[in-house]
Amino acid sequence: MRLTDIEIEVMNVFWSNGAPMTASDIISASPKRTWKETSIHVILKTLQEKETVVIDHYVPTAGRAAKAYKATMTMAQYLASQVLEFDVALPELFKAITESKKYLRRLPD
């Protein structure tokens, strides 16, 4: 299962927050978002279908209850799932990560 850039952007909000969030919470926590505010419910529905978020509980609001969602996996678990889709030996992967980190440290800020 792959996530789109926008879905990853929303998942990063969950991963940074670490607590269940309503659609309004996600919008508030995403001031530099690349998606339209009105798209949040579609994004959350897609993330539910991909089983990366679930409804945790309902929050009373003025009029109706808002759904509070939570991530079903950590960022590390998502990244591991992506790596496991490829047939790569772990020593080779760790070597590539180490080399990438060395290269990234040499980049200017």
What separation in angstroms does the CA of 98 have from each of 56, 73, 101? 37, 25, 5
Kindly report, residue by residue over 50-91, the tens digit of the pLDDT.
Answer: 999 999 999 998 888 999 999 999 999 998 888 888 877 888
Q: What is the pTM of this model?
A: 0.80
pLDDT at 5 over 90: yes
Higher pLDDT, 56 or 2: 56
For residue 22, count other CB atoms closer than 10 A to its CB: 20
Task: For the chain, list the domains and their CATH numbers.
Answer: 5-105 (1.10.10.10)
pLDDT of residue 10: 96
Q: Which tens digits make up the pLDDT trace of 26-61?
A: 999 998 888 898 999 999 999 999 999 999 999 998
